[in-house]
């Protein structure tokens, strides 16, 4: 009778998008018009004109891909209050947390994420939390053990008083006692819980200062003399849900040996899938990074409304929640908060086959992870096919139940501890299809996108869900080096997919990837490639000034109106997008300049890394982004007021940007001093146009953080070694440009 309730658990509503479509189409028309103008006048101009045409062709194609992604935005409305009336027996959910470095990802951050997961508004006996520690850290394990004791108090407190923010470090930032008139019981419990949390933090902090967090005895004995990249499997059941008030909590550090590839986060996620498949085998999974805590306690119910609320659940593979940040600096000085990208492209993709998997804040259907195709259950009866899941017969049985949608008979999770060691071994995947046909797919540092692409190519759909308040909040990179490192890793991983056998072109031809989603994946995977046309196009103004040439129509030429219209339209269009989502003009400008900086530095190094890999000269290296668990004690007034200064280090990633700035400053200085290089021998280029000068000034304005860095010291200044390298390279480029056109 429950299934006869007509009220839906969720529905999609198309957004009116007339003005946005008109502006996007206008800009596309202007870009195409510029290409036609270039073609018609190409014979009367030289190499500079051809280079500009090639760059503009890429920009036009890229804009077309963006318009495609934004074209059909939708809103998703869920009704979690109707979930239990329709499904009295709620499905179980396994929750995964991944961490890899106790220094870059402080354990107290992982602890808060775990505590927020344990306290979500969902029956505790239906939840299990698995923490993967790829750093094999005794400190991380110790922190989780201590936090499990606090969890018994914290979970009861949150559910009793319907606490909204269930990560303690955020909840205790405000004092509800001083801002309201709570009853005496709440006041006493609040003070007690806060004192317990502060004591927990103190114990973890003191442990982190020691060479070993405590005596390596009993449960901690396995961490004695451990090497991070060479150690046996460690699996500890920290908390087992016997009293049905706090979910299971399991610690996992998979086996690592030098002779076996561990496949970074993808390998860790596959181990989590197998261990959880043995112990609890929930039909749905949630995975979050260690810095991404639950901000909306209803998130599990919200996701399940979309996963179980369809007339046919055959085609909904996963629900992706956006990455939002609690430490987001005002006006997004590093351009990494992606608010506009989420609002416009995220909603647009929800109107297609669905958004990509972004690695955190995502609910998966377990059978999808196990390689199932929509509506196809024939292969699960094939014994040889089941052997592809590995040599553990217990896991094969577990996978069979998951693929058939059966619950199976679950015992105490400790009964599966011995079998779990087998599936977490570094050689377990040998001869299996893990990382190729199912699980998290190997072959890229952005294993999340590759895994989502593999799911979409089978015909599964996904949804993008924006909640208020946001479902999860994480920690954004708060400095130039961290932001550039993250962007470089993304560019590298995405380009690895594009040049692999798993690229979307193959999946569109051989699978069920929708054509318009294929176009989006081309846009996403080509982020790194934008560095080449961006770098060339932004270098053209400086080159033309040095060589006394031009790449834009002269001011007296009516055709100059086309690039002017493109410049004005693009900036007004993007500014409108930022203002419509309540962001400021400064936020818009910060994102515009960071797009130029990122493309000509981080993306460039990402492309270089992939080229070296293809040539067999080196392999790509996964770099963990530094996470800050608390505010720095030496913040200056600018950072507090939200105008954070750009920070630098000695990484070579800052050499291209510094070189780029010096070349443009040299070009403008030569113009101001009246120093002119020789005119082309063929007489081409009778003088530098106003357009080239304005473009060069615009580029310098975009690289203003680097110009400030030339005159600052410490972390806000560009290191002397970088300045020396960039000055030498800039001198060579200026001389080369002058000689080529002399």
User: SS3 for 548?
Assistant: coil
Estimate the crossing angle of helix 18-40 against helix 561-580, to 10 degrees.
160
Active site residue 448: yes
Phi then psi for 311, rounded to 5 degrees?
-60, -40
Cβ proximity of 424 and 395 under 8 Å: no
Q: Chunked in runs of 10, what are the mean pLDDT values of the chain (742 residues)?
A: 60 90 96 95 87 96 97 92 88 96 92 97 95 94 94 94 93 76 82 95 89 65 85 92 82 94 94 96 96 95 86 77 89 89 94 94 95 69 73 91 75 88 94 93 92 93 92 88 90 92 79 90 94 94 87 88 96 96 94 94 93 83 63 41 74 93 92 59 55 92 94 91 94 80 54
Domains annotated on the chain, with CATH: 18-71+517-624+648-677+684-740 (no CATH), 81-321+360-476 (3.90.550.10)
Residues counted in the chain: 742
Active site residue 134: yes
What is the pLDDT, as a whole number, of residue 347?
94
Q: How many angstroms from the chain centroid is the CA of residue 161?
A: 33
What is the pLDDT, as a whole number, of residue 3?
47
Terminal-residue alpha carbon distance, the chain: 85
Q: Is 427 annotated for ligand binding?
A: no
Place of tokens 């629900």: 319
Secondary structure tally for the chain: helices H, strands E: 29, 13
Cβ proximity of 332 and 591 under 8 Å: yes
Among candidate residues 24, 101, 133, 448, the one labeled active-site is 448
What is the pLDDT, as a whole number, of residue 479?
82
Among candidate residues 134, 291, 331, 332, the one labeled active-site is 134
What is the pLDDT, as a whole number, of residue 213?
63
User: SS3 for 266?
Assistant: helix
Q: Is 101 annotated for ligand binding?
A: no
What is the pLDDT, as a whole number, of residue 638?
46
Q: 10 Å Cβ neighbour count for 120?
A: 25
Long-range contacts of 310-314 (CB under 8 A, 24+ apart): 313/365, 314/374, 314/375
Q: Which residues neighbour 10 within 8 Å (Cβ) at sequence distance 6 or greater?
A: 76, 77, 78, 79, 305, 306, 309
- In order, the DSSP letters of 387-439 are GGG-S-HHHHHHHHHHHHT-------GGGGHHHHHHHTSTTTTTTS-BTTTBS
Q: Measured on CA atoms in the order 53, 54, 57, 63, is the torsion positive or negative? A: negative
Estimate the crossing angle of helix 720-740 against helix 531-547, to 10 degrees.
60
Q: Is 457 annotated for ligand binding?
A: no
Q: Is 289 annotated for ligand binding?
A: yes
What is the pLDDT, as a whole number, of residue 427?
93
Place of tokens 């007509």: 6
**CA 22 – CA 25 distance, rounded (Å):** 5
Q: What does each C-alpha distance from 693 to 53, 356, 543, 669, 708 come to in angstroms? A: 19, 41, 11, 11, 21
Q: How many angstroms from the chain centroid is the CA of residue 129?
A: 22
Cβ proximity of 299 and 473 under 8 Å: no
The b-or-e profile of 309-342 (16+ CB within 10 A means b, else e) is beeeebbbbbbbbbbbbbbbbebbbbbbbbbbeb
Cβ proximity of 98 and 273 under 8 Å: no
């Amino acid at each position: 009778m429950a299934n006869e309730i007509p009220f839906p658990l969720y529905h999609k509503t198309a957004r009116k998008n007339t003005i946005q479509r008109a502006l996007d189409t206008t800009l596309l028309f202007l870009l195409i018009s510029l290409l036609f103008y270039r073609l018609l006048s190409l014979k009367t101009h030289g190499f500079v004109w051809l280079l500009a045409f090639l760059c503009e062709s890429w920009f036009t194609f890229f804009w077309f891909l963006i318009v495609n992604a934004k074209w059909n935005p939708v809103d998703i409305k869920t009704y979690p209050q109707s979930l239990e009336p329709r499904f009295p027996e709620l499905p179980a959910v396994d929750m995964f947390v991944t961490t890899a470095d106790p220094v870059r990802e402080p354990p107290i951050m992982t602890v808060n994420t775990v505590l927020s997961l344990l306290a979500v508004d969902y029956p505790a006996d239906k939840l299990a939390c698995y923490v993967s520690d790829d750093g094999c850290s005794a400190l991380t394990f110790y922190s989780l053990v201590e936090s499990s004791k606090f969890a018994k108090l914290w979970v009861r407190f949150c559910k009793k008083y319907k606490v909204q923010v269930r990560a303690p470090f955020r909840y205790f930032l405000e004092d509800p006692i001083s801002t309201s008139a709570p009853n005496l019981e709440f006041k006493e419990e609040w003070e007690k819980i806060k004192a317990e949390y502060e004591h927990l933090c103190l114990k973890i902090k003191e442990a982190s200062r020691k060479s070993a967090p405590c005596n390596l005895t009993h449960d901690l004995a396995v961490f004695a003399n451990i090497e991070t990249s060479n150690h046996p499997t460690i699996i500890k059941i920290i908390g087992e849900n016997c009293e049905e008030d706090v979910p299971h909590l399991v610690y996992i550090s998979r086996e690592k040996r030098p002779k076996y590839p561990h496949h970074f986060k993808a390998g860790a996620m596959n181990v989590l899938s197998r261990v959880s498949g043995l112990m609890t085998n929930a039909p749905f999974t949630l995975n979050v990074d260690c810095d991404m805590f639950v901000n909306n306690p209803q998130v599990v119910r919200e996701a399940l409304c979309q996963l179980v609320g369809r007339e046919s659940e055959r085609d909904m593979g996963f629900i992706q929640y956006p990455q939002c940040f609690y430490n987001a600096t005002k006006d997004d000085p590093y351009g990494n908060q992606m608010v506009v990208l989420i609002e416009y492209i995220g909603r647009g993709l929800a109107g297609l086959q669905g958004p990509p998997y972004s690695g955190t804040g995502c609910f998966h259907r377990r059978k999808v992870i196990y390689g199932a195709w929509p509506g196809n259950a024939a292969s699960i009866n094939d014994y040889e096919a089941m052997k592809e899941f590995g040599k553990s017969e217990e896991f094969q049985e577990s996978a069979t139940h998951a693929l058939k949608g059966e619950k199976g008979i679950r015992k105490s999770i400790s009964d599966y501890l011995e079998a779990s060691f087998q599936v977490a071994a570094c050689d377990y995947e040998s001869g299996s299809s893990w990382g190729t046909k199912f699980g998290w797919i190997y072959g890229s540092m952005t294993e999340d996108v590759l895994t989502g692409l593999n799911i979409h190519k089978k015909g599964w759909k996904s949804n993008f869900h924006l909640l208020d308040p946001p479902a999860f909040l994480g920690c954004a990179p708060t400095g130039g080096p961290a932001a550039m490192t993250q962007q470089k890793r993304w560019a590298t991983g995405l380009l690895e997919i594009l040049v692999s056998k798993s690229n979307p072109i193959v999946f569109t031809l051989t699978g069920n990837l929708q054509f318009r989603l294929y176009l989006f994946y081309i846009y996403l995977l080509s982020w790194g490639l934008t560095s080449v046309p961006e770098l060339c196009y932004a270098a053209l103004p400086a080159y033309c000034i040095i060589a006394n040439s031009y790449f834009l129509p002269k001011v007296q030429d009516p055709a100059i109106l086309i690039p002017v219209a493109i410049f004005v339209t693009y900036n007004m269009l993007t500014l409108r997008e930022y203002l419509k989502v309540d962001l400021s003009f400064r936020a818009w400008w910060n994102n515009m300049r960071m797009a130029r900086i990122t493309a000509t530095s981080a993306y460039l190094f990402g492309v270089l890394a992939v080229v070296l890999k293809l040539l067999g000269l080196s392999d790509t290296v996964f770099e963990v982004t530094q996470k800050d668990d608390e505010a720095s004690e030496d913040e200056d007034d600018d950072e507090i007021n939200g105008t954070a200064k750009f920070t630098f280090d000695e990484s070579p990633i800052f050499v291209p940007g510094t070189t780029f700035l010096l070349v443009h400053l040299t070009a403008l200085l030569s113009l101001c001093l009246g120093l002119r290089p020789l005119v082309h021998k063929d007489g081409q280029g009778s003088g530098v146009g106003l357009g080239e000068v304005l473009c060069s000034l615009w580029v310098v304005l975009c690289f203003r953080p680097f110009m400030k860095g030339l005159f600052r010291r410490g972390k806000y200044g560009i290191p002397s070694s970088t300045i020396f390298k960039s000055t030498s390279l800039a001198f060579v480029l200026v001389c080369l440009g002058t000689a080529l056109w002399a």
